[in-house]
Amino acid sequence: MRAVVCEAYGPIADLKVEDLPDPSPGPGEILIAPEAIGVNYPDGLLVQGLYQARPALPFVPGMEAAGRVLEVGPGVTHFGPGDRVAVLLDTGAYATRVLAPETSAFALPDGIEAGVACALLCGYGTAHHALKQRAALRPGETLLVLGASGLTGLGAIEIGRAMGARVIAVASTKDKRRVALEAGAHEAIGYQDLRADLKRLTEGRGVDVAFDPVGGEAFDTLARSMAWNGRLLVVGFASGTIPSLPVNLALVKGFSVVGVFWGAFTRKQPAAFAANVETLFAWVAEGRIRPLVSERLPLARAADALARIHARGTVGKLVLVP
């Protein structure tokens, strides 16, 4: 098989495409031929050694793939050759053959395209978990989304709308704001006058739920723009800066700061995670959400795709098509 390999923690550009022996499934494992492989911001952190986890070297990055089962190992009961599945892994997806424990696979309905299935795992999965389990977003509430044209941001816009919220999107350029509006945001603004814009758009009340995958300076503005009983969701730090919070703001304004760690959620609450995936598959089938797969690239372009995601140069979901 062909695979993208990380031989040492370091720059994304050091990733290599190599020929490796074809794997065969062990007990409880399935082997799939991916039709699409998801590229995610955290994959780029992982190969640089900047993520919470540090896999043993060398390793094949990639946490999502969707395609058909080729072979199953002993003891596999839920899937057989020819079945369509989407799989979630720690690593190993950037390859023309992907091994996964059967317990990490979801049956993929025929109507859901493989690239869209990848968007629904880490990206939309994080946004859904954040808004459902962590913020308990209610219909009629105001939801603010930073990094709104990125993958988790677009997920938060679409899912927030599906849950009945009024969505205000924040993105850095006019083109990115257009993408956010097309995904269903009610308003789209830039970062320049964030505090004044939020005051104006909420008539001084503040936002009920803020979804922040960016961090940095904007977080400080959010902490000063929350409504009473608001929930400020800490999702990520795409700006490269982990912000600090003067906790008196949480006291005075009566809001909560809520951490979101989707990967840990999938491991600690597998039944809730499986129910979330089922909901997202159903919402796609019903046309309630339409994840944007903006680029489909060959496997050999993995490093380029990751570098552009980290340089703020993409919108929506990028997938590799082997």
Ligand X SMILES: NC(=O)c1ccc[n+]([C@@H]2O[C@H](COP(=O)([O-])OP(=O)(O)OC[C@H]3O[C@@H](n4cnc5c(N)ncnc54)[C@H](OP(=O)(O)O)[C@@H]3O)[C@@H](O)[C@H]2O)c1
Residues that bind ligand X (CB under 6 A): 40-42, 45, 122-123, 126, 147, 149-153, 171-172, 176, 213-214, 235-240, 260-263, 309-310, 312
Rounded Cα distance, 318 and 224, in Å: 34
CB 198 within 8 A of CB 220: no
CB of 208 to ligand X, least distance (A): 20
Euclidean distance between the first and final Cα of the chain, in Å? 10
| CA distance to 25, 118, 274, 300, per residue, from 278 (Å) | 26, 14, 6, 32
CB of 226 to ligand X, least distance (A): 19
CB of 317 to ligand X, least distance (A): 8
Instruction: Count the neighbouring beta carbons within 10 Å of the beta carbon of residue 245.
Output: 14
Rounded Cα distance, 27 and 18, in Å: 26
Residue closer to ligand X (CB basis): 129 or 161 = 129
Tokens 């006291």 sit on residue: 251
CB 254 within 8 A of CB 227: no
- Position with the least CB separation from ligand X: 150
Token pair of 75 as six digits? 């003891």
Residue closer to ligand X (CB basis): 25 or 213 = 213
Phi and psi of 228, rounded to 5°? Answer: -55, 135
Residue closer to ligand X (CB basis): 50 or 274 = 50
Q: Which of 179, 136, 189, 191 is nearest to 155 (CA)?
A: 179
Residue closer to ligand X (CB basis): 3 or 235 = 235
CB of 65 to ligand X, least distance (A): 17
CB of 6 to ligand X, least distance (A): 17
CB of 177 to ligand X, least distance (A): 8
Residue closer to ligand X (CB basis): 202 or 239 = 239
Residue closer to ligand X (CB basis): 83 or 304 = 304
